[in-house]
Amino acid sequence: MNTLIDNTQHQREILNKLYLIRDLEEKIAAHYSEGKMRCPTHLSIGQEGAPAALSVLLSDKDFAVSTHRAHAHYLAKGGCPNAMMAEIFGKATGCSGGRGGSMHLIDENVGFKGSTAIVGNTIPVGVGLALSQKMRKQDNLTVVYLGDGATEEGSFYESANFAVLKSLPVIFVCENNLYSVYTGLEKRQPKDRKIHQLAESIGLKSFHGDGNDVVQSYQIFQNAVNHIKQGNGPCFVELETYRWREHCGPNYDNHIGYRSEQEFLTWQQKEPIARFEQWLNENSQLSTNDFSASRANINTKIEQAFKFASESPFPKAHTMKNHVYSEQHND
């Protein structure tokens, strides 16, 4: 496989996305115990590679939907960090008015059409968005982010079947982190089954690779996006990766026994950001000084997002009914 990112702008943008996603989530983890972020929070630390690589191949007119583990997808699509942090702090300036929290992110300005907490819930929504793009004859596509666990939901099969049947411009991006909460793939699916092969058997053009290798992921996404843009129908991309922290929350949990410290350490060796920096050092104009300057710049934005969130007001109680459907909704 040709593994090149020869577009300098893409190199810089991917690097900035990696720093933004990692450092913002590390800050969430560092401050979570203060009790000001009162929603369940699923971190993507260790899994930043795939969304960062895909981010530069999409425009604001392309759509994306996501899951409970949505921060990386929202930020990669260009979602506003201030509105995301305000949402996590439960503030009125949050992207869902402070009523949704970490799992309910949305930024329609950049085509991020929402994330929800029910596993498999946004898969048919994303396919519906792709149907709308096709019916309007738009030259755009929809990204449906999902975990390995979501491929065990009926909604995945119904949605994939429909997408294939109607040849829709949708790319299913499966971040296979080997676990659904505390249960490993080997306890949930038959031995030797490959998720991308299963997707292929439904009729999805399928790709598979190392999600912690940003350059390889970029190449795979380029092929998938080209396949769709040439009118060849939907794609499925399975990228292997690993979450470093507990399923939900800021802590490490290797000690509780569902996975081993050794497994964690093996994946940490395959860390996506250091690998990408090394590749850039060897293959691009960018150097360690550029990395430090970019990272400092990103961290200023992260500081601003936390400041904005903590200084924003909570939603007023009387606005509650604005977000709840009722017979009296329009009174």
Ligand X SMILES: Cc1ncc(C[n+]2csc(CCOP(=O)(O)OP(=O)(O)O)c2C)c(N)n1
Distance (Å, rounded) from C-alpha 25 to C-alpha 71?
A: 8
Distance (Å, rounded) from C-alpha 315 to C-alpha 90?
A: 8
Scanning the structure block, which residue is given the tokens 């949704």?
A: 100
Closest distance to ligand X from the beta carbon of 149 (Å): 3
Report if residue 169 touches ligand X, rule: CB under 6 A. no
Sign of the alpha-carbon dihedral angle for 86, 91, 92, 98: positive
Report if residue 117 touches ligand X, rule: CB under 6 A. yes
Please give the C-alpha separations between residue 106 and each of 40, 140, 268, 321, in angstroms, as whole numbers. 17, 19, 30, 20
Closest distance to Mg ion from the beta carbon of 140 (Å): 28
| Sites for Mg ion among residues 176-205 (CB under 5 A) | 177, 179
Binding mask 61-90 for ligand X (x = CB under 6 A): -------xx---------------------
Which residue has the closest beta carbon to ligand X? Answer: 147
**Tokens standing for residue 107:** 């930024």
Instruction: Name beta bridge partners: 206.
Output: 236
CB 113 within 8 A of CB 104: no
Binding mask 296-325 for ligand X (x = CB under 6 A): ------------------------------
**Of 116-124, 126-134, 214-222, 273-281: span binding ligand X (CB under 6 A):** 116-124
Closest distance to Mg ion from the beta carbon of 119 (Å): 10
Distance (Å, rounded) from C-alpha 291 to C-alpha 280?
A: 10
Report if residue 238 touches Mg ion, rule: CB under 5 A. no
Sign of the alpha-carbon dihedral angle for 186, 189, 191, 193: negative
Among 48, 87, 148, 210, binds Mg ion (CB under 5 A): 148
Distance (Å, rounded) from C-alpha 134 to C-alpha 231?
A: 10
Among 98, 147, 233, 272, binds Mg ion (CB under 5 A): 147
| Sites for ligand X among residues 131-150 (CB under 6 A) | 147-150
Site of interaction with ligand X (CB under 6 A): 68-69, 117-120, 147-150, 177, 179-181, 247
Site of interaction with Mg ion (CB under 5 A): 147-149, 177, 179
